[in-house]
Structure 1
């Protein structure tokens, strides 16, 4: 992937790079975005916006980090921006309330039907605050190192380690309680 990006200036094939990135990282990126917004349709929309941003900023990729790490940094920043946005706080909440009954029913059915440890863990992870959820997700689901997580989130490595340790404690309490 990094080689394809390095050759962009020679062949002007940004479209090919983005197409390749969507194939390699699209599903994982969608899952990352979903972990922030917890709404499938919204996650799909935001994922498309993220790939558009990636396309627009591809010339800024300098190869200091892996392409996937760079893409995750764009994605996390985009999700954070969305969660802070006026639209999310004023419009999406209203839509969420409109579907609250069906969401509660769906959540109840999921709890009744699926009691295995994997789903309990996933639920516990989703109940964490975004700061803790992102380090858990990036470390355990995306196998990023502390250094890569630090780069993606913009936090120093010691902060990342502290967040990961605290997230583990919170998960343990949630699963045992």
Structure 2
């Protein structure tokens, strides 16, 4: 438990490279895999990407300059690896069938839980159907709870570009959800 309480500064200054990597994997491993899944839409591919992220992290950990947080740095590596994979021939020839869901359930009864799961599935499918440039903003803003500035830094885009794309993404998502029955 104490491992997760450490800050990135404490981790970088007092731990060995292996200890830092282990801490990063524990702290951000699930988030990295989930982020990769939002791009790849396939569990196995997202796990492969997450492994590649931490391999790259280990290789370049000594060069980390603390200009951003470890989380932002790992997200940047993840996004770049995912985009490279999406451009590859092998990915373009794979059929994708899975979806993601990180929305926390607040249902109490089994019936409400089942209805909530169906709503999550539908929303997840609609989000994953968005073009990547809009999907990634929805994921970063709503699921990863990053600020506009963090997203702009992560994607190396202007703040106004982030705001306008997120607005368009919301409109696209709203339009795709019209006619869908969501239980509230």
- Give 1:33's aligned residue: 36
Q: Which residue of 2 aligns with 1:136?
A: 138
Which of structure 1's runs of 4+ aligned residues deviate more than 4 A? none
Question: Any gaps of 5 or more consecutive residues in structure 1?
Answer: 108-112
Matched, 1:7 2:13: yes
Aligned counterparts of 1:78 and 1:4: Cα–Cα separation in 2: 28
1:153 corresponding residue in structure 2:
155
Pairwise mapping of residues 161-172 of structure 1 onto structure 2 (< 5 A)? Answer: 161-172=163-174
What does the per-residue CA deviation read over 1:59-107, in whole Å, with 9 as the maximum and x for residues that have no partner?
2322222110111011101100111123323xxx1x53xxx8xx5xx89
Q: 2:91 aligns with which of 75, 88, 91?
A: 88
Question: CA separation in 1, counterparts of 2:120 and 2:85?
Answer: 29
1:38 Cα deviation after fit: 0.8
Larger proportion of helix: 1
**SS of structure 1 residue aligned to 2:26:** helix
Query: CA separation in 2, counterparts of 1:64 and 1:123?
Result: 35
Unaligned 5+ runs, structure 2:
1-6, 100-113, 180-184
Deviation at 1:5, TM superposition (A): 4.6
C-alpha separation in 2, matches of 1:87 and 1:119: 27
Q: Quick check: 2:12–2:20 contact (8 Å CA) kept in 1?
A: no
| Bigger mean CA deviation after superposition, 58-67 or 119-128 | 58-67
Residue 16 of structure 1: how far off its partner (Å): 0.8
CA RMSD of aligned residues (A): 2.1
